[in-house]
Amino acid sequence: MAVEYDPFTTHLGGDPYPLYRALREQAPVHYAADSDIYCVTRYDDVRQVLGQPELFSSRAMDTVFRRSRDVRLRPRHLVDVARFVWKMRSVLLRMRRAGNLITLDPPRHSELRAIVNRGFTPRQIATWEPWIREIVVEELSDKLDQAEAFDVVRDLAIPLPTRVIMRVLGVEKSGVDFKRWSDNLVSGISGPGRHDPMALGIMDSMAELMVFLRTTIHERRANPGDDLISLLVDPAQDHALGDGEAISFVVLLLIAGNETTTNLIGNGINALYDHPDQLALLLDDPARMPGFIEEALRYDSPIQIVFRRATAATEIAGVAIPEGGYVAPMLASANRDDRKFPDADRFDIRRESSGHLGFGFGLHFCLGSALARLQARIAFEAVVPHLGRLEKRDAAPEIIDSFLVRGRSSLVLEARAAA
């Protein structure tokens, strides 16, 4: 029987990996007719697509989400949308003109990436370690030592990246609700809010965020500080970002950097609980931490899928792709391909997992990978030593409703019952 899968409508449920395996074996380039998308599932083919940005354009990372939305706008919402567009017209126009790193192709992508790379050098990120550690200590407070249960996703993995990005942007003392804005953005793009953005206040959040960022950018241009926004818009620098470019970029950081990092932490801890032998190995030798983090990214990838669009007629693994055809390189499936990672469904923190595609591949390789790894390492170093005496309350914690990201919405840990 043919495998059925459509990235926008198939409900993946708790374990999408058997379905990915079936696709890899039976239809490695699977055409999802309803969404008109070619889904690519084998490691080599996914890398081939991501490695040819001139043939597979990242503009799809913008246009495909609009196609996927199936928004149910009620008539009264049309008024709200019109009001939003009118109020934000100058910012929206500038953002549109500026483009967004993740949706751009060369040469503009290369220019913009060279500029924003300045804010994410490995040396700079390493200097952030002490205060990231302080945030982890603050968020955990004495939860790990108390007898009561706590939720490692809600109490640590969710607030950590938001606080980190606020600090990097220099807005941690602004008193604004960045968390709500960021959650609403992600929900409106790939989560439950994609069907009803007005009801969930997504447009409101977007408008509030844009107004806040525009004001902040103007302030930093006049009075630069020691933060990412000041660095990017500093008029004394060559190629300083304009308002539209800077707003677009910060919005991207919130979308790309928060929930992904949250899910790496949640998925990693969940995988350790599901594989007690691997937890024992890590407890036995904490130097295995980097191997564990890479294996968590491979085994249960926070970003499951990305999108591209063919700029010319071509073929992938013998399947013809028309010019303009949408292609979905499925990172999480590629990471479970036995052809690249022997016995790929086995979670093994000692395996050679380098080359995994959890952070993508090629020109668009994740800008925040070093920051994500650092946050995850600090969070795991704080929590993992306690996992031996804690257990997870739900054997299969609830999975987030999204076709793009994979993670647990909650992961409650409590003291093990005495034997």
Sites of contact with ligand HEM (CB under 6 A):
58, 61, 101-102, 113, 165, 252-253, 256-257, 260-261, 264, 302-303, 306, 331, 358-360, 364, 366-368, 371-372
Tell me whether residue 187 or residue 304 sits nearer to ligand HEM (CB atom). 304
CA distance 84 to 73: 14
Distance of closest approach, residue 17 Cβ to ligand HEM, in angstroms: 17
Q: Give Rg (Cα) of the chain.
A: 21
Instruction: Give the residue with the Cβ less far from ligand HEM, 224 or 362.
Output: 362
Phi, psi of 348 (to 5 degrees): -145, 105
Kindly tell me which of 334 and 344 has the beta carbon lying closer to ligand HEM. 334
Query: Minimum distance between the CB of residue 302 and ligand HEM, rounded to whole angstroms?
Result: 4
CA atoms of 362 and 85, how far apart (whole Å): 35
Smallest Cα–Cα separation from 273: which of 134, 138, 169, 408? 408
Total Cβ atoms within 10 A of residue 2? 8
To ligand HEM, the closest distance from the beta carbon of 318 in angstroms equals 24
Nearer to ligand HEM, 31 or 120 (CB): 120
State the distance between the two ends of the chain, measured CA to CA, in whole angstroms: 47
CB-closest chain residue to ligand HEM: 368
Query: Distance between CA atoms of 390 and 416, rounded to whole angstroms?
Result: 5
Q: Rounded to whole angstroms, how far apart are CA atoms 24 and 92?
A: 40
- Asked whether the beta carbons of 224 and 170 are under 8 A apart, the reply is no
Cis amide leading into 16 (omega within 30): no
User: Toward ligand HEM, which CB reaches closer, 125 or 279?
Assistant: 125
Classify 90 as helix, strand or coil: helix
Name which of 3 and 382 has its Cβ closer to ligand HEM.
Answer: 382
At 107, list the tokens.
């040469």
Q: Which amino acid is at 301?
A: S
CB of 38 to ligand HEM, least distance (A): 16
Query: What span, in angstroms and rounded, lies between the C-alpha atoms of 39 and 60?
Result: 13
Residue nearer to ligand HEM on the CB measure, 241 or 303: 303
CA dist 161 and 139 (Å) reads: 11
Shortest distance, CB of residue 307 to ligand HEM, whole angstroms? 7
CB of 125 to ligand HEM, least distance (A): 10
> Token pair of 224, please?
């630069």
The CB-of-76 to ligand HEM minimum distance in angstroms stands at 35
Supply the minimum distance, in Å, between the C-beta of residue 385 and ligand HEM: 22
Q: Which of 349, 367 has the CB closer to ligand HEM?
A: 367
